[in-house]
Amino acid sequence: MRDSVIIVGGGPAGLMAANVLEKHHIPYLILEKNDQLAKKLLLTGGKRCNVTNERSVAGFIEDLNMPHRKFLYHALTSFGPKEIKQFLKDRGLNLLLEEGYKYFPETHKSLSVLEALLKDLDQNKIMYQSSVKAIKKLNDGYVVMTKNQDYHASYVIVATGSNAYPTTGSSGDGIVFANHLGIKTIPFSPAETYLLSSQVKQKFKHLQGVSIQGTTLKMDGIKQLFHGDLLFTHQGLSGPVVLHASEHVYPLLEKGSIHVRISLTSIPIQDYDQSIANLLDENKTIVQSLESFTSKRLASTIIEHLHLKKNYLKELSKKELIDLKNMMYAFPIEIDSMPSIEHAFVNKGGIAIEELDQSSMEVKSSSGLYFIGEITDLQGPIGGYNLTIAFSTGHLAGESIAKKYNTG
């Protein structure tokens, strides 16, 4: 159908765009590679889906680590966290606030988010097992090609995601389409991922499975402090605080290995000296003393790391006491690599932002062609930012087409 819209990819961004087109009674067809929709969405937030967050638009933008973060201002003011919450509520799904800013569905299931996205959509407008191979520009629109069929459309929305977690169907195909159409792209690089450390693998094997609640992580070369839970794995570090900090790591690693410094306790540093003074009075051993701040395994690791041969806290010199404090609040771990982009949760890169109109997500040089969601060079930290970006840019593209459709 020439006058219709083709949406390539049935993930959160594509499904949100479809909802807008459905609302405006605009004919559309979703072409989805898999035999099911939104496989990645179902995995999000440990299958509980951190769908959005409590941040204001200004706060949301401030939290993003992208030089072009303000590009999202238009999309987020039109349809941001507040509107996403309302959209889901209108479809019978309430959200619960966790950790003071993250929203999850009250059902604790990502499937509920998918069900809400599908509630108003017509199943006849979804073509499964329809992997798009190419998009060509015609004089009066586009032809979207799958193995078995060519689809003609006036408008095309590309919502194929990045190549993070390709087993979900997202293999960054939008980059290939863009390159054929002469649209500038930025190579993908890992943005949200765990970190690899030979030091942990060799020296701190015994820490595998040890977690630290509410740690603070500092990275050499980066001013920002990161807060959250951390987990030692058999090959490095993981957990929310690591995923959050990881988007800074890739460019730093290009110059060689880096150090992250983590607090091994959630007890505030300002309370440390008084607690140590009390422990000195109580004549405790070093291990007993450190155990009031952290786990036994971490306490022993500090002692080994500092090569302390003494038994009792009161036997330590002033310098050794200072070293102990430094280890407790800034334990250094050397990071030497990151998993490949396929293993990251979210990737940076994609369609270069200067190619897109921020008030519509339309390609500036190619009227009627839109890129939305993670296939664009727009991404955020852990905390519902990435799904919000997918929904927000998908909504904007849908509304922009509706405006053109109704006036043109």
Ligand X SMILES: Cc1cc2nc3c(=O)[nH]c(=O)nc-3n(C[C@H](O)[C@H](O)[C@H](O)COP(=O)(O)OP(=O)(O)OC[C@H]3O[C@@H](n4cnc5c(N)ncnc54)[C@H](O)[C@@H]3O)c2cc1C
Q: Which of 46, 59, 50 is nearest to 97 (CA)?
A: 50
User: Between residues 13 and 299, which has the closer beta carbon with respect to ligand X?
Assistant: 13
- Nearer of residues 4 and 265 to ligand X, judged by Cβ: 4
In angstroms, give the least distance from the CB of 294 to ligand X. Answer: 28
Residue 379 C-beta: closest distance to ligand X, Å: 7
Task: Report in angstroms how near the CB of residue 39 gets to ligand X at its nearest.
Answer: 6
Choice between 12 and 190, CB closer to ligand X: 12
Pick the closer one to ligand X by CB: 324 or 341: 341
| Matching residue, tokens 């009075």 | 281
Residue 240 φ/ψ, nearest 5 degrees: -50, -40
User: How near is the Cβ of 62 to ligand X at its closest, in Å?
Assistant: 17
Amino acid found at 1: M
Q: Site residues (CB under 6 A) for ligand X?
A: 8-14, 31-34, 38-41, 43-45, 49-50, 131-132, 159-161, 164-165, 169-171, 173, 345-346, 373-374, 384-387, 390
Q: Residue for token digits 């590009």?
A: 71
Q: In the complex with ligand X, which residue's Cβ is closer, 160 or 265?
A: 160
Strand partners, 28: 5
Closest by alpha carbon to 361, among 29, 41, 26, 76?
76
- CA quadruple 99, 100, 101, 102: dihedral sign: positive
CB of 225 to ligand X, least distance (A): 22
CB of residue 380 vs ligand X: minimum separation in angstroms?
7
CB 342 within 8 A of CB 336: no
- Residue among 338, 336, 340, 339 nearest 258 (CA): 336
Give yes or no for a contact between 102 and 73, defined as CB atoms under 8 angstroms apart: no
Beta bridge partners of residue 7, listed in sequence order: 30, 157
CA–CA dist 93, 86 (Å, integer):
9
CB of 381 to ligand X, least distance (A): 9
Helical segments of 282-343, H only: 286-291, 296-305, 318-329
Cα dihedral sign, 63-65-69-75: negative
Nearest residue (CB) to ligand X, 15 versus 207: 15
Q: Which is nearer to ligand X, 19 or 44 (CB)?
A: 44
